[in-house]
Structure 1
Amino acid sequence: MPNKGKSITILVAEDDEDDRLLMQDALEENRLANDLHFVFDGEELMDYLLHRGDYSDPKSAPRPSLILLDLNMPRKDGREALKEIKSYPELRQIPIVVLTTSKAEEDILRTYDLGVNSFIAKPVVFDSMVKIMKTLGTYWFEIVELPDQNA
């Protein structure tokens, strides 16, 4: 298991409070919520990643091991944020999984064109979310090799 023992920081960009709670509970159920951070929209996501404003202290905004990104958020949506993240060489290595209610073929194609690592339709049932988070955790933190966050 390549990443066992390494610190796992998950950053969730999600504006819907119910979806945030569902994800948090599912991550906790799978013991993946030890370093979980939430941002409300794409603007706040970029502030977090670039250590601006409320996130100027890197200790309160550690580099994420994985970003879970909703597409439909206020101010700056997930598509815009994804494009901006991938434009920064120091950020483009962070794996990004779109987790959204959209199942539109256009969104799927566009986000992959912009560099997303995976696209998942957000389940509405808790058990399904738990299974998705377990699979994501196994894949991203036990199977694949991720770049060293401190490099």
Structure 2
Amino acid sequence: MDDEAIDILLIEDNKDDADLIKRALKKSQPGIQILHFDDGEQALDILFKKNGFSKSHDKLHLKLIIVDLKMPKIDGFEVLKAVKNNTTTQTIPVAVLTSSNQMQDIQACYEMGVNSYIVKPVDFEEFTKTIQEMASYWLDLNKYITNY
């Protein structure tokens, strides 16, 4: 990673989905900086400056965290819980982007403080449109203050 601020932290273990998400985000938000990890462990390391992610990643300035739920090592539930239970990161908006439409997953995420829960559309065009609308809302319309 270079010295540019990161706008979005994407945590998605499915390479195809991650590529589609990044492509849709860059198309709708030219110049956007995205940092992608395929598991929650690395994402938490960078957020909380552990395991070699200390000084080189001071300029995150995150506007949004997008996280899948079902991932290896540390899943999206644990990432969400860690982010929302830490006073430094709790104000960063978190959007869950998952294939799970199960009511217990939705409820658990909102109880942990998720800002948005989006079920991944199966249709390619709908998937792309959903990502672009999500980015437009969180990066253009939404106003927030972060301690991070």
The normalised TM-score by structure 1 is 0.86
Q: How many pairs were matched up?
A: 144
2:145 maps to 1:120? no
Residue 3 (structure 1) aligns with: none
Q: Which amino acid aligns with 2:144?
A: L
Aligned counterparts of 2:96 and 2:120: Cα–Cα separation in 1 = 9
**8 Å CA contact 1:102, 1:121 repeated in 2:** yes
Q: Which amino acid aligns with 2:70?
A: N
Give unmatched runs, 5+ long, in structure 1.
Answer: 1-6
Aligned counterparts of 1:33 and 1:70: Cα–Cα separation in 2 = 23
Deviation at 1:32, TM superposition (A): 5.0
Deviation at 1:149, TM superposition (A): 6.1
Give unmatched runs, 5+ long, in structure 2.
Answer: none
Residue 42 (structure 1) aligns with: 40
Match of 1:64 among 38, 42, 62: 62
**8 Å CA contact 2:6, 2:60 repeated in 1:** no
**8 Å CA contact 1:69, 1:78 repeated in 2:** yes
Deviation at 1:108, TM superposition (A): 0.3
Match of 1:88 among 55, 63, 86: 86
Residue 136 (structure 1) aligns with: 134
**8 Å CA contact 2:95, 2:116 repeated in 1:** yes
Q: Deviations over 1:2-21 (max 9, x none)?
A: xxxxx760010111111111
The normalised TM-score by structure 2 is 0.87
User: Higher relative CO (CA 8 A, sep ≥ 6), structure 1 or 2?
Assistant: 1
Q: After alignment, is 84-93 or 52-61 more displaced?
A: 52-61
**8 Å CA contact 1:27, 1:33 repeated in 2:** no
Q: How much identity, in percent, do the aligned residues show?
A: 34
Structure 1 residue ranges (4+ consecutive) displaced by more than 6 angstroms after TM superposition:
none
Aligned counterparts of 2:123 and 2:59: Cα–Cα separation in 1 = 30
